Amino acid sequence: MARSTVLDAAGVHPALVHLGQTHRNLSPAQLYEHAIHRGEAQLSTDGTLVCLTGTRTGRSPKDKFLVADTTTAETVWWGGNQAIEPERFHAILQRVAAYLQGRDVFVQDLVVGADPHYRRVVRVVTEFAWHNLFAHNLFIRPARRRRQPITPDLTVICVPNFRANPTIDGTRSEAFILLNLSEGIILIGGTAYAGEIKKSVFTAMNYYLPQQGVLSMHCSANVGPTGNDTALFFGLSGTGKTSLSTDPQRPMVGDDEHGWSDSGIFNLEGGCYAKTIRIREESEPVIYAAARRFGTVLENVVLDPDSRQVDFDSDAITENTRAAYPIEFVQPHVPGGQAPHPRTIFFLTADAFGVLPPISQLTEEQALYYFLSGYTAKVAGTEVGLTAPQATFSTCFGAPFLALPPAVYAQQLGERIRRHGATVWLVNTGWTGGPYGIGQRIPIAYTRAMIHAVLQGELDTVPKHEHPVFRVLVPEHCPGVPSHLLDPRATWEAAEAYDRQAQALAHMFQENFRQFAGTVDPEISTAGPVLGA
């Protein structure tokens, strides 16, 4: 991989010249001062830095492009990624460089990847001070800052106030997230949503790591008290990935992105990016405490203009309110961000149709089927025009961040499950007793009880029956959980209505999986739900 070159001790990147003042590796307190002085953020009564992202309060996947050059043209999964020509990329880079001339920038030299064999140095260059604090919190902070020049593997340049011109730049809108994987440069503009910084770096790692024989994963991870009982939690936004892996009894490895090498798993990041909408201390005490500390960035959380009290219940700006904080704010956590090979893997799905069992065990073939499917559901009201639950299939539980074909990640996951004997469970954190609007959300306390039962081996000998549609193995009972809840059909008032909805979801699974025909083994293709049961 080509590396971004630093010309001298004062250099940021060869393309960026005649900058204003360059603020390098500032501390959180210093970044607070700059952000508040520049009018980028406000201070809450809890000491958090509260920031707004403007009109874009989430990721802009349609504005993300990967540079198609002689190397990436044959390796990138173009079925899931948009291409941009190298010439257009460099033209935008030159315009960004011209825009930054005379402007102050903030620079953080950080690390992605806790395993020293696979880590990369990432330089984050931002025009906003609060974005630099976000990067400081989310990536791994070196123990000592080097005074000598370093050569970053990745350089991220984030300029929200620079807007693309689609006519001349070849973008879809004024916003752009451009990844030049061969040269190690990422350009972000036209959007202030800080999550683009972390997810663009994750996309890059999803390109580099599998080609080194390391499975990159969109999952959280924790370990048991003895340190040898690792669990992974795969899931899309809103399924409980961060909440369920944040457990006072199990130290957290990381809450979102990991690699799985021959030595074990390792966190790619050094912080957490947790949703905070309607968060409660009694149900999520660790995240709640972290979201109220000095050093934490709160994104699009409503702040009272007079008292400066935050309102975690308000969705006046967006449902996607976030807290970005260092993993040291999570107690307990695993120092060093590495753990042994996992024994247990959970696939989390928020089934808004209310038909999937709340807990079920998967065979190896089913595990790869549901991994490639990446199912969850959006609920009414979360998007404009969405009036009923909508199935969402995001392959490998992270399609927007996959740079290589999905079969690459599935093959590596299957090989590791076989080699290390990991058990895989499907967990529905969504609805029961009916679909969204009729049924009820499964209480997180029950979901935690089911996960603890799995991790403590309490479901190993419990009798299980095969679900007639989804064919997963459903336990007959679970400590701390009402037995009727384990059978989703029994929670519906009309069993016939459940059957119709289950068949409808099974059909959606089958239609979605057609895209993988011929790319996976037949045993995997036929491991999913069945129709007519």
Predicted pLDDT at 399: 95
Cβ atoms of 219 and 450 closer than 8 Å: no
Q: Which tens digit of pLDDT belongs to each residue from 500-531?
A: 999 999 999 999 999 998 889 999 999 999 99
> pLDDT-based confidence at 378, cuts 50/70/90?
confident
Query: From its phi and psi, is residue 421 left (phi > 0), alpha (psi between -120 and 50) or beta?
Result: left
Q: Identify the domain containing residue 409 by its residue range.
A: 341-525
Asked whether residue 182 falls in the same domain as residue 127, the answer is yes
Same domain, 379 and 486: yes
Q: What is the 3-state secondary structure (H, E, C) of 248-265?
A: CCECEEECCEEEEECCEE
Does pLDDT of 171 surpass 60? yes
380 and 316 fall within a common domain: no
Q: How confident is the model at residue 380 (pLDDT cuts 50, 70, 90)?
A: very low
Could you report the per-residue pLDDT of 246-255, keeping only the tens digit for each?
898 999 999 9
Annotated active-site residue 419? The verdict is no
Between CA 411 and CA 272 the distance in angstroms is 28
Q: 34, 120, 131, 218: which is the annotated catalytic residue?
A: 218
Co-location of 115 and 205 in the same domain: yes
Q: At residue 111, what is the residue type?
A: V
* Distance, CA of 19 to CA of 138 (rounded, Å): 26
pLDDT band at 388, cuts 50/70/90?
Answer: low
> For residues 325 and 134, is the Cβ–Cβ distance under 8 A?
no
User: How, if at all, do strands 440-441 and 271-275 pair?
Assistant: unpaired
Per DSSP, the residues of 161-194 read T----HHHH--SSS-EEEEETTTTEEEEES---T
The active-site residue, picked from 136, 141, 241, 258, is 241
pLDDT of 3 higher than 70:
no
Exactly one of 136, 141, 198, 199 is catalytic; which is it? 199
Is a pLDDT exceeding 80 seen at residue 284? yes
Q: What CATH number corresponds to the domain at position 320?
A: 2.170.8.10
Of the residues 329, 349, 373, the one at which a domain ends: 329
Give the mean pLDDT of 22-50. 98
CB 498 within 8 A of CB 355: yes
Question: 13, 34, 59, 333: which one is catalytic?
Answer: 59
Domain co-membership, 86 together with 172: yes
- Judge whether 59 counts as a catalytic residue: yes
Q: Which of 256, 343, 395, 448 is catalytic?
A: 256
- Report if residue 240 sits inside a domain: no
The domain total for the chain is 3
- The answer to whether 453 and 459 are in contact (CB under 8 A) is yes
Mean pLDDT lowest for which of 308-317, 386-395, 512-521? 386-395
User: Looking at the structure, do residues 32 and 159 belong to the same domain, yes or no?
Assistant: yes
176-180 and 185-189 beta bridge pairing? antiparallel
Pairwise pLDDT comparison (143 vs 323), residue with the higher score: 323
Structural domain ending residue among the three candidates 286, 306, 329: 329
* Averaged pLDDT, 400-407: 97
- Section 205-213 average pLDDT: 98
**9: confidence class by pLDDT, cuts 50, 70, 90:** very low
- Tell me, yes or no, if 322 is annotated catalytic: yes
Question: Do 360 and 492 reside in the same domain of the chain?
Answer: yes
Q: Do 289 and 154 fall within a single domain? A: no
Q: Evaluate whether residue 238 is within a structural domain.
A: no
Between 385 and 495, residue with greater pLDDT: 495
Cβ proximity of 366 and 496 under 8 Å: no
> For 273-281, what is the mean pLDDT?
94
- Any domain includes 235: no
- pLDDT score, position 24: 95
Instruction: Determine whether 241 is an active site residue.
Output: yes
- Of the candidates 60, 237, 373, 429, the residue annotated as catalytic is 237
Residue 382 has pLDDT above 50, yes or no: no
DSSP-based three-state secondary structure for 274: strand
Half-sphere exposure of 77 (CA within 13 A, CB side): 19
Nearest alpha carbon to residue 108 among 78, 146, 75: 146
Q: With cut-offs at 50, 70 and 90, classify the pLDDT of residue 8.
A: very low
- The predicted structure's pLDDT at residue 144: 65
The identity of residue 99, as a single letter, is Y
Query: Of these residues, 57, 191, 239, 242, which one is catalytic?
Result: 242
> Given the structure tokens 């701390």, which residue do they identify?
480
Strands 230-234 and 185-189 come out as: unpaired
CATH of the domain at 480: 3.90.228.20
Q: What is the pLDDT of residue 532?
A: 82
Same-domain pairing of 324 and 346? no
Residues 308 and 379 in one domain: no
Q: Name, in order, each residue with C-beta under 8 angstroms of 382's C-beta and a sequence gap of 6 or more.
A: 319
Both structure tokens of 131: 């974005």
Please confirm, yes or no, whether 242 is among the known catalytic residues. yes
| pTM higher than 0.85 | yes
Write the CATH number for 137.
3.40.449.10
Beta bridge mates, 221? 232, 254
> Above 60 in pLDDT, residue 7?
no
Does 432 have pLDDT greater than 60? yes
User: What is the residue-averaged pLDDT of the chain?
Assistant: 94
Establish if 386 belongs to a structural domain.
yes
**Residues sharing a CB contact under 8 Å with residue 197, sequence separation 6 or more, in sequence order:** 124, 131, 134, 135, 138, 156, 158, 188
Is the predicted pLDDT of residue 386 greater than 50, yes or no?
A: no
Catalytic residue among 123, 322, 343, 471: 322
The reply to whether 371 falls in a domain is: yes
Q: What number of CA atoms fall less than 13 Å from residue 417's CA on the CB side? A: 21
In this prediction, residues 9-27 reach a mean pLDDT of 89
The answer as to whether 17 is a domain residue is no
pLDDT for the residue 235: 94
In a domain, 135, yes or no: yes
Catalytic annotation present for 22: no
For residue range 440-454, what is the model confidence (pLDDT) as tens digits?
A: 999 999 999 999 999
Judge if 86 and 187 occupy the same domain.
yes
pLDDT in tens, 79-132: 999 999 999 999 999 999 999 999 999 999 999 999 999 999 999 999 999 999
Does residue 231 sit within a domain? no
**Of 160, 180, 212, which residue is a domain's last?**
212
To the nearest whole percent, how much of the chain has pLDDT over 90? 89
487 and 390 fall within a common domain: yes
What one-character-per-residue DSSP string does 400-446 give?
GG--S-HHHHHHHHHHHHHHHT-EEEEEE-SEESSSTTTSEEPPHHH
For residue 237, name the pLDDT band (cuts at 50, 70, 90): confident
CB atoms within 10 A of CB 39: 7
